[in-house]
C-alpha cells in the first residue's frame, strides 16, 4: 500500500461522567485520530495517548510530536506491505507504543477495506459478539460507588471492575461485594501500591474477585511475582506488559495469572495478537482492556476480543457509557446477555462522523506525499 497522505487529529471529547483512577480524574478525553489515504481508500486509527502522562509516559502532545516528526517520514510516500512491515520501518523509534499503535490500526483498517474483510476475519476471530464489562471509576464514597455499580448492573453489565487506590480499596470492594454477592467483580489499582502494602490488600483475597489488576509499579514484573505468591486471587498485569517479550518474562517469572491486552500499550494490534498467542500456548487467560476509546478504537478492541483466548469479559462498554456524541456514525450497544456485537463491515467496520470529528478537534496536522 502506498501511503499517499496522513492526517493526525488531536481531539478532546466530553465524557458523560468524570472518570477517576488512582492517577487522576478526567472529565474530557483527549486522543489522536489517525487518518491515512492509500490507493483511493481511507483508513482510520486511534492513538490512545491521553492529555496527561498518568497511565504511562505518553501524552497526546508527545504522540503528535513522535507521529509528525518521526513516524510520518518513515512511511509517507512509501509502500507499507502490512502491520509487520510497518513495525520494521518504525523499529528505530524507541518506545512510544501508543503513538505507533494508532498508525498500525489505520493500516489494518486499510488492509481490511482493500481485501474486503473485517478486522475479525483478518485476525481469525470466531465470535460474532464478545462478552463485556464496565470499568467504574473511584466515586465520592463507598455508598455512591455501590449506587453507580447498581446502575450499570441494572443496564445489563454482568462484569464490573472498580478502580482502587490507597485509602479507597478494601472498604469500597467489600461494599460492592456485600451488595452483589454473585457479581463477576475485579479491581484495578493502576500501580498505586508497593510490595510493602501487601497486608493492606490482603482482605481483597476473601472477596472472590476475578482478578487484581496492576497493583504495583508500572515498570515492575518481579515484585508482582512476590505479591502473587501471597494471594489466591489471580494478579493481572496491565501497565507493565509492554511487548510480547515482557509477556514472556511475566509468564516465566509467574508474576501474574492473567494478562490485560491493550493493543495501544503493546505498540500495535500485531503485537497484541502475538501476546494473545503466547498466553494461549502457556494457558494464561487474557482479556481486552480499554482506554475510553471512541467508536474507532472500540471497533478495534471488539474485533480483537473475538480471538479464542479472550476468555474473560473486556473493558469494552457501550458507547453511551462514555460519550453522548461519538466520532463514529455507528454506536455500540449492550445486548441483554452482557455482550456487544462485532462489526462485520470491511476493516474496522465503522464510518466517521466528519462534523463530530471537526467539532472535537484541537489541532490537525496533514502530510501529503510528493507524487
Contacts to Mg ion by CB under 5 A: 188, 213, 238
Q: Per-residue string for binding with ligand OSB, 306-325, x by CB under 6 A?
A: ---------x-x--------
Nearer to Mg ion, 54 or 345 (CB): 54
Closest distance of CB 370 from ligand OSB, Å: 39
For the chain, helix, strand, coil in percent to 5 are: 35, 25, 40
290 binds ligand OSB (CB under 6 A): yes
Nearer to ligand OSB, 30 or 330 (CB): 30
Nearer to ligand OSB, 76 or 201 (CB): 201
Q: Determine whether 286 is exposed, middle or buried from the number of CB atoms within 10 Å of its CB (0-12, 13-18, 19+).
A: buried
- Separation CA 326–CA 347 (nearest Å): 19
**CA distances from residue 230 to 120, 233, 238 in whole angstroms, order as listed:** 38, 9, 19
Q: Which residues contact 12 (CB under 8 A, 6 or more apart)?
A: 28, 29, 30, 51, 360, 362
Q: Tell me the residue number closest to ligand OSB, measured at CB.
A: 290
Closest distance of CB 80 from ligand OSB, Å: 28
Closest distance of CB 359 from ligand OSB, Å: 22
- Separation CA 187–CA 175 (nearest Å): 13
- Separation CA 262–CA 276 (nearest Å): 10
| Given 163, 165, 226, 364, the catalytic residue | 163
- Separation CA 270–CA 81 (nearest Å): 13
Binder among 188, 223, 326, 330 for ligand OSB (CB under 6 A): 188
291 binds ligand OSB (CB under 6 A): yes
Clarify whether 163 is annotated catalytic: yes
CA neighbor of 106 nearest in space, from 296, 271, 304: 296
User: Contact 39/11 with Cβ under 8 angstroms?
Assistant: no
340 binds ligand OSB (CB under 6 A): no
Count of residues interacting with ligand OSB (CB under 6 A): 11
- Separation CA 188–CA 305 (nearest Å): 20
Clarify whether 161 is annotated catalytic: no
Closest distance of CB 77 from Mg ion, Å: 38
Binder among 8, 44, 55, 193 for ligand OSB (CB under 6 A): 55
By a kind-dependent CB cut-off of 5 to 8 A, residue 292 interacts, out of Mg ion, ligand OSB, none, with ligand OSB
Nearer to Mg ion, 23 or 323 (CB): 23
Going along 64-170, which residue ranges are E strands? 129-131, 134-136, 159-163
Chain residues binding ligand OSB by CB under 6 A are: 55, 135, 188, 190, 238, 289-292, 315, 317
Q: Which positions are annotated as active-site residues? A: 163, 262
Amino acid at each position: 500500500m502506498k501511503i499517499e497522505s496522513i492526517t493526525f487529529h488531536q481531539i478532546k471529547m466530553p465524557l458523560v461522567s468524570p472518570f477517576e483512577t488512582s492517577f487522576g480524574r478526567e472529565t474530557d478525553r483527549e486522543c489522536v485520530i489517525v487518518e491515512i489515504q492509500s490507493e483511493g481508500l481511507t483508513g482510520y486509527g486511534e492513538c490512545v495517548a491521553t492529555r496527561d502522562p498518568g497511565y504511562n509516559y505518553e501524552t497526546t502532545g508527545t504522540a503528535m510530536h513522535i507521529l509528525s516528526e518521526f513516524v510520518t517520514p518513515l512511511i509517507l510516500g512509501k509502500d507499507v506491505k502490512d502491520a509487520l512491515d510497518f513495525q520494521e520501518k518504525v523499529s528505530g523509534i524507541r518506545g512510544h507504543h501508543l503513538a505507533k499503535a494508532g498508525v498500525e490500526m489505520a493500516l489494518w483498517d486499510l488492509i481490511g477495506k482493500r481485501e474486503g474483510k473485517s478486522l475479525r476475519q483478518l485476525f481469525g476471530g470466531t465470535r460474532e459478539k464478545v462478552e463485556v464489562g464496565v470499568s467504574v471509576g473511584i466515586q465520592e464514597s463507598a455508598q455512591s460507588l455501590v449506587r453507580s455499580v447498581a446502575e450499570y448492573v441494572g443496564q445489563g453489565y454482568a462484569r464490573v471492575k472498580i478502580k482502587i487506590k490507597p485509602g479507597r480499596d478494601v472498604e469500597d470492594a467489600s461494599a460492592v461485594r456485600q451488595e452483589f454477592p454473585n457479581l463477576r467483580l475485579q479491581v484495578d489499582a493502576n500501580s498505586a501500591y508497593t510490595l510493602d502494602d501487601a497486608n493492606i490488600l490482603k482482605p481483597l483475597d476473601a472477596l472472590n474477585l476475578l482478578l487484581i489488576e496492576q497493583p504495583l509499579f508500572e515498570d515492575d514484573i518481579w515484585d508482582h511475582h512476590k505479591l502473587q505468591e501471597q494471594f489466591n486471587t489471580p494478579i493481572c498485569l496491565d501497565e507493565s506488559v509492554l511487548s510480547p517479550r515482557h509477556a514472556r518474562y511475566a509468564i516465566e517469572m509467574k508474576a501474574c495469572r492473567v494478562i490485560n491486552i491493550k493493543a495501544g500499550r503493546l505498540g500495535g494490534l500485531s503485537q497484541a495478537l502475538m501476546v494473545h498467542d503466547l498466553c494461549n500456548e502457556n494457558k494464561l487467560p487474557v482479556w481486552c482492556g480499554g482506554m475510553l476509546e471512541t467508536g474507532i478504537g472500540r471497533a478495534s478492541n471488539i474485533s480483537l476480543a473475538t480471538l479464542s483466548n479472550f476468555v474473560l469479559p473486556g473493558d469494552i462498554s457501550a458507547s453511551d457509557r462514555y460519550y453522548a456524541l461519538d466520532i463514529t456514525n455507528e454506536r455500540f450497544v449492550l445486548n441483554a446477555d452482557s455482550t456487544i456485537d462485532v462489526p462485520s463491515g470491511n476493516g474496522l467496520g465503522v464510518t466517521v462522523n466528519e462534523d463530530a470529528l471537526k467539532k472535537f478537534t484541537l489541532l490537525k496536522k496533514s502530510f501529503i506525499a510528493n507524487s
